[in-house]
């Protein structure tokens, strides 16, 4: 046919990929923003680059970031730029562009997957923001290609899975069924396949070496295997029977703001179990595990943030499982995706600068449209090179600079991202939401009967701020004073001291937990 001669399949694919990336760049540049939480990591990046170690407050070793791999990528870009804002957006753009490029190059119904991602409010919102979502997306695409398309070796799959874990620990749930599939069946017939099983085990150990090395470093340097945010949220004391209903509210909120995202997630999972083979079903099962986890923790205060990875997996599954549709059904599917994308508030290709930053719905649910909230402050359209303060901070940026100039050594604050970064390393900031403070992270929320998801405020123990200012333990509660002595030895003491290493062991085996129990 003349059409095939003029536009051979390879040229059509290249044209489609180019159009995909142009559309993504257009939407990204119009809607890109950076949130306060991203600057929590960027303060650590700034400290690291300036020789203070991987610290948030330079006096203590606390892992305030949940994403080591993303943090190191930010560091690589921050070294030459020294511009936190551009670093966050550049890292997001690079990872997201690679993700869209890989999706567009997939065989099958790639157009449906691309249109889904471009029109999903959640996906595009968190293709920027400075959070780790873009790198999670990229790694999940690579895992999909390796597991489903190329059927790569256990070593390669374990390596990608270890990077997924290092970028965000809970995202490993997507890969767990696939990894179990590679390991478990060979145990069922050990008489003839024990050597093969041993080979898989060795491959897993080698593939997970980056993760094992990081965990060893984390346990030694920080004194704990998990980030401080893990302890802050688990230690808040909010019962599961309250978190799960909030998780349902999170899903309902997404359905109202961005119906395309949840509908495609559900469609991808259903089609995988209906028409997929074992490997597609295992990835769908991983997505179910992750969604169940999101439900169990109460979701998040950022609308759609914890749904973007599942959306990507479902879009890839649909692209793979629906290529044999007739043109009529393909057009119908594309039309349905487009119409659902139009129901987002607002659609991604519409730039509405007059939207309220938060609504009564946000106040009632505790869940925000984060892009709408931060866009007037940190939207890319507001950026001007060379400005001392690249965007208006509603007082946060200015407050951070005021703290830097004030000479204060220790302060307590909420929403510490912008404030902490612009205050600089000389100001020790006690985060009242406990994400960055080692002692508060291990105390229960101050108002467990009235809380907002993701914002579990703590009461500062009497004498704690004086302790930080003077270096002399003045905490009035004697048990908490003893607990802080052990904690300070871990986070502030000489790394190689025998006493510190013993304290690390005792702390992680729960031998100091009795000191946190309420006084009788």
Per DSSP, 441 falls in state: G
Tokens of 204: 């897993």
Domain segments of the chain as ranges: 24-460, 462-520
Rounded mean pLDDT, 313-332 = 89
Rounded mean pLDDT, 224-250 = 91
Q: Is residue 268 a contact partner of residue 219, using CB atoms and an 8 Å limit?
A: no
Rounded mean pLDDT, 1-25 = 72
Using the Cα atoms of residue 284, residue 288, residue 289 and residue 291 in order, give the sign of their dihedral.
Answer: positive
Q: What does the pLDDT read at residue 451?
A: 85
pLDDT digits (tens, 9 = 90+) for 389-403: 556 555 888 899 999
pLDDT-derived band at 1 (thresholds 50, 70, 90) equals: very low
* DSSP helix/strand/coil, 22: helix
Compute the distance between CA of residue 176 and CA of residue 131 in angstroms, rounded to an integer. 23
Q: What does the pLDDT read at residue 2?
A: 36
Compute the distance between CA of residue 206 and CA of residue 196 in angstroms, rounded to an integer. 15
pLDDT digits (tens, 9 = 90+) for 455-486: 899 999 999 999 999 999 999 999 999 999 99
Compute the distance between CA of residue 190 and CA of residue 135 in angstroms, rounded to an integer. 38
pLDDT-derived band at 352 (thresholds 50, 70, 90) equals: low
Rounded mean pLDDT, 96-106 = 96
Burial class (CB in 10 A: 0-12, 13-18, 19+), 349: middle
Average pLDDT, the chain: 90
Compute the distance between CA of residue 223 and CA of residue 144 in angstroms, rounded to an integer. 34
Compute the distance between CA of residue 89 and CA of residue 20 in angstroms, rounded to an integer. 19
pLDDT digits (tens, 9 = 90+) for 18-64: 999 999 999 999 889 999 999 999 999 999 999 999 999 999 999 99
Q: What does the pLDDT read at residue 233?
A: 86
* DSSP helix/strand/coil, 368: strand
Q: 267-271, 373-377, 381-385, 485-489 — which is least confidently predicted? A: 381-385
Extract long-range pairs of 251-256: CB within 8 Å, 24+ residues apart.
Answer: 251/295, 251/299, 253/299, 253/303, 253/361, 253/365, 253/367, 254/122, 254/303, 254/304, 254/307, 256/361
Q: If we measure between CA atoms, which residue out of 458, 300, 444 comes closest to residue 365?
A: 300
pLDDT of residue 417 exceeding 70, the answer is: yes
Helix-then-strand count for the chain, H and E: 25, 2
pLDDT digits (tens, 9 = 90+) for 290-305: 999 999 999 999 999 9
Q: What is the DSSP track for 156-199?
A: HHHHHHHHHHHH-GGGGGGTHHHHHHHHSGGGTTHHHHHHHHHH
Q: 19-23, 316-320, 344-348 — which is least confidently predicted? A: 344-348
Q: What does the pLDDT read at residue 236?
A: 81
Compute the distance between CA of residue 321 and CA of residue 519 in angstroms, rounded to an integer. 59
Q: What does the pLDDT read at residue 237?
A: 84
Q: What does the pLDDT read at residue 48?
A: 98
Backbone phi and psi for residue 472, each to the nearest 5 degrees, phi listed first: -115, 130
């Amino acid at each position: 046919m003349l059409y095939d001669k003029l536009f051979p399949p390879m040229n059509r694919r290249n044209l489609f990929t180019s159009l995909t990336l142009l559309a993504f760049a257009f939407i990204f540049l119009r809607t890109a923003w950076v949130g306060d939480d991203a600057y929590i990591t960027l303060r650590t990046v700034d400290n690291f680059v300036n020789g203070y170690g991987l610290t948030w407050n330079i006096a203590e070793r606390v892992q305030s970031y949940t994403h080591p791999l993303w943090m190191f990528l930010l560091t690589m870009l921050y070294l030459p730029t020294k511009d936190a804002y551009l670093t966050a957006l550049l890292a997001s753009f690079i990872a997201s562009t690679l993700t869209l490029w890989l999706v567009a190059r997939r065989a099958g119904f790639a157009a449906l997957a691309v249109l889904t991602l471009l029109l999903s409010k959640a996906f595009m919102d968190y293709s920027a923001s400075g959070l780790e979502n873009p790198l999670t997306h990229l790694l999940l695409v690579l895992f999909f290609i390796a597991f489903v398309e190329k059927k790569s070796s256990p070593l390669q799959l374990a390596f990608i899975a270890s990077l997924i874990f290092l970028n965000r620990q809970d995202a490993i749930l997507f890969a767990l069924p696939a990894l179990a599939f590679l390991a478990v069946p060979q145990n069922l017939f050990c008489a003839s396949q024990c050597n093969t099983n041993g080979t898989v085990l060795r491959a897993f150990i080698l593939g997970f070496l980056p993760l094992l090395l990081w965990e060893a470093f984390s346990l030694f340097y920080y004194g704990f295997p998990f980030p401080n945010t893990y302890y802050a949220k688990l230690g808040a004391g909010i019962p599961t029977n309250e978190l799960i209903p909030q998780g349902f509210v999170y899903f309902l909120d997404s359905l109202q703001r961005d119906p395309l995202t949840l509908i495609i997630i559900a469609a991808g999972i259903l089609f995988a179990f209906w028409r997929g083979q074992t490997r597609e079903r295992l990835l769908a099962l991983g997505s179910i595990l992750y969604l169940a986890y999101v439900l169990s923790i109460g979701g998040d205060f950022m609308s759609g943030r914890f749904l973007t990875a599942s959306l990507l997996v479902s879009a890839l599954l649909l692209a793979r499982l629906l290529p044999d549709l007739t043109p009529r059904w393909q057009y119908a599917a594309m039309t349905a995706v487009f119409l659902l994308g139009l129901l987002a508030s607002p659609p991604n290709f519409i730039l509405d600068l007059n939207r309220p930053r938060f609504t009564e719905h946000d106040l009632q649910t505790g869940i925000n449209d984060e892009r709408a909230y931060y866009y007037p402050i940190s939207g890319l359209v507001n950026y001007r090179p060379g400005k001392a303060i690249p965007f208006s901070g509603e007082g946060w940026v200015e407050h951070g600079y005021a703290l830097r100039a004030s000479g204060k050594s220790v302060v307590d604050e909420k929403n510490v991202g912008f404030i902490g970064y612009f205050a600089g390393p000389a100001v020790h900031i006690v985060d009242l939401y406990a994400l960055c403070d080692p002692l508060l992270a291990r105390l229960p929320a101050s108002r467990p009967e009235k809380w907002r998801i993701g914002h579990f405020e703590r009461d500062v123990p009497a004498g704690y701020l004086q302790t930080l200012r003077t270096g002399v333990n003045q905490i009035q509660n004697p048990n908490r004073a003893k607990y802080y002595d052990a904690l300070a030895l871990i986070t502030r003491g000489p790394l190689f001291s025998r006493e510190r290493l013993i304290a690390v062991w005792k702390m992680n085996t729960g031998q100091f937990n009795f000191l946190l129990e309420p006084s009788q």
